[in-house]
Structure 1
Amino acid sequence: MRSLPMTSSVNHSGHPRNPGIDLDLSWLDDMRYVNRSALERRAQTLARRRSIKGEYQAAWLLRSIACMDLTTLSSHDTDERVRRLCAKAKQPLRPDMVAQLGLGDTVIRPAAVCVYHPFVATAVEALQGTGIQVAAVSTAFPHGLAPFATRLQEIKESVADGATEIDVVITRGHVLSGQWSALYDEVKAFRAACGEAHLKVILGTGELSTLRNVMRASLVSMMAGADFVKTSTGKETVNATLPVGLAMTRAIRTYHERTGWLVGFKPAGGISSAKQSLDWLSLMREELGLTWLDPTLFRFGASSLLTDIERQLDHYLTGRYSANHRHAIA
């Protein structure tokens, strides 16, 4: 039996929510200089400089599970598919692996299950009493181009059905045309519609053209009261990349330094390997510090990542890579 040095249980609170501040356009002007080449070079060094092996790698992979939003956002989703996903969230690792890892009473589960609005009630029922949050993608996900009143109503209905987290998509045109007041008002209205549910703002970074736009959109969303800023819907051609993650985490750090408020970060789209999850955890550790290595402030949007993490943990325990079919599918 092995005892790991770094395990984590899911916690949905622990930090005061970001209340937002008044829109400060002069601050946005100060953020107009973004050195893309420097961010890209920095991103390339993250994985090369920090190699995590053995029991420490296993522990960090368990942290990856605890920071995961286990997601199904397919056009062929059904209530039964969502129930199966929730069953996987409740028991993400085989019982024999849990015993061999020496976890004892420590419960390792994804932070949330993320679904479309019609399946919120199903997920809430399936996860009752587990502490796993139910997140709903909203506001005409993934394009965000429905009438504004319709998008607000979708948020309210998801909250009424029991969603405790709402992932919204912004109007990308506001960013591309520099309409920062319109973006601020939009996100502020989303926050009001969420009530007590946490607001995760999806920027759709692959469609924002420049890292400067990404950084400014992140900052405006935080000014408007975002609890998290999120890279992508997972439906864009380009989704979460480390340079984009650097731009967004540095905007989070700047906001924290000036206001004192903590805002979370969620990369999503294309994160499917255990190695990638370690790269993102390293980024958070080095750019924002240990405080952010917690599901209250960091999430992965993931659908297939969990299976690869299971295979890596199986290799740690046995020295062999197992076939995918040995692990229950989500």
Structure 2
Amino acid sequence: MNLKVVDQSPPEVTHKRNPGFPLDLDWVERVRMNRSALERRAASIGARRTVKKDYQLAWLLKAITLIDLTTLNSDDTEGRVERLCAKARHPLRSDIIEALGVGDLRILPGAVCVYHSFVKTAVAALEGTGIPVAAVSTAFPHGLAPVETKIREIEMSVADGAKEIDIVIERGMVLRGDWQALYDQVKAFRKACGDAHMKTILGTGELATLTNVAKASLVCMLAGADFIKTSTGKEKVNANLPTSLAMIRMIRWFHEETGIEIGYKPAGGIATAGDAIKYMALMKEELGTHWLQPHLFRFGASSLLTDIERQLEHGLTGHYAADYRQPMV
């Protein structure tokens, strides 16, 4: 099968990392989001155009490289994390890879995301693959521990080998409009991360308004966030397209003003191949194809890969396989 798919080898990542900027409260106060307009725009994604046949298969292969393959359950064990890492090493069955003719491409997830306790386990299981380990830190998912405790957790995750840190903000700071406190805390987290890239989880479903989401996005980017991320996956409302659009437009505005490219990570509830394509289309239309790279866009997902693998098999055979043919963990 001759798929029109871009090279999935590791990109030459030469973009400048976000150095952080002084808190500009005048800029923050100028931020406004029109919910109804964002909802209308978001509703058009996937309705005006779709990708079909070989193009769809190529998009889905690309989507695999953008997944942060995740397990964040209270009953996680070392064995479960090792099985997840085994899946990360071989995200597609060999017969699917052979049938698609993509054996020479690097089809691997963007990262494996685990609790701090399992960072060492994941690092060992992924040795030699180049797949980074991301750790959720700073009292995930609520973020309400003392700041000293949260900073120490980041430092320990980095020491254990995590290359990416997903931190969570204190949502109360946003609801109170205490932008200085939010900025100071995120800046301290960024310092603790060192060379590890920092993804800042906003918990958007708990921020009340899209204007709050947009302002929090800006403050976190000014404080040095490498990525902004929607959710922990534990809120009642997680990632959705209108919220994503608000955050993406702040990324675009930030880039226009500073020249710095910030990554975006929707997380929570993204479980189907169709969902993945909608988010990828949104990124392509709002920020351009350039942003569809692992260093600028990720999905936080635990079951998305299973559905993508089923859709790829359907594209080859015309039949949907049972979930157990693509076991995750």
Which TM-score applies when normalising by structure 2?
0.98
Q: Identical aligned pairs, as a percentage? A: 63
CA contact (8 A) 2:271 2:301 kept: yes
Q: Aligned partners of 2:124 and 2:115: how far apart in 1?
A: 15
Cα distance between partner residues in 2 of 1:3 and 1:172 = 44
| TM-fit CA distance, 1:10 | 4.4
- Which residue pairs with 1:97 in the alignment? 96
CA contact (8 A) 1:10 1:295 kept: no
Per-residue deviation, residues 1-53 of structure 1 (Å, max 9, x unmatched): 4333335234584322111111001101111x211000000000011012110
After the TM superposition, which segments of 4 or more aligned residues of structure 1 sit over 6 Å from their partners? none
The answer to whether structure 1 residue 255 and structure 2 residue 254 are counterparts is: yes
Measured in 2, the distance between the counterparts of 1:3 and 1:254 equals 35
- SS of structure 2 residue aligned to 1:82: helix
SS at match of 1:74: coil
Aligned residues: 329
State the alpha-carbon separation in 2 of the partners of residues 25 and 312 from structure 1: 46
1:136-285 superposed matches below 5 A: 136-285=135-284
1:304-315 equivalences under 5 Å are 304-315=303-314
Query: Cα RMSD (Å) of the superposition?
Result: 1.0
**TM-score calculated relative to the size of structure 1:** 0.98
Cα distance in structure 1, aligned partners of 2:302 and 2:11: 21
SS at structure 2 position matched to 1:114: strand
Aligned partner of 1:28 in structure 2 is 28
Quick one: distance in 2 between partners of 1:175 and 1:94?
44
Q: Does 1:76 align with 2:72?
A: no
Contact preservation (8 Å) 1:214, 1:248:
yes
Q: CA deviation at 1:307?
A: 0.4
The answer on whether the counterparts of 2:265 and 2:297 sit within 8 Å (CA) in structure 1 is: yes
1:51-90 maps to which residues of 2 (within 5 A)?
A: 51-90=50-89
Residues 111-160 of structure 1, C-alpha deviations (whole Å, 9 max, x = no match): 10000000000000000110101000000000000011000000000000
Taking the aligned partners of 1:88 and 1:217, their CA distance within structure 2 comes to: 35
Deviation (angstroms), 1:290: 1.0
CA distance in 2, matches of 1:294, 1:275: 19
Tell me by how many angstroms 1:184 deviates: 0.4
Contact 2:284 2:292 in 1 (8 A): yes
In structure 2, give the amino acid aligned to 1:17.
Answer: R
Whole-angstrom distance in 1 between the partners of 2:35 and 2:159: 42
Give the whole-Å Cα distance in 1 for the aligned partners of 2:133 and 2:227: 15
User: 1:242-298: per-residue Cα shift (whole Å, max 9, x none)?
Assistant: 000000000000000000000000000000000000000000000111110000100
> Which consecutive unaligned segments of at least 5 residues does structure 1 have?
none
The answer for unaligned runs of 5 or more in structure 2 is none
CA distance in 1, matches of 2:307, 2:28: 40
Amino acid aligned to 1:234: G
User: In structure 2, what is the Cα distance between the partners aligned to 1:317 and 1:221?
Assistant: 43
CA contact 2:5–2:59 (8 Å) conserved in 1: no
1:7/1:63 contact within 8 Å kept: no
Match of 1:46 in 2: 45
1:317 aligns with 2:316: yes
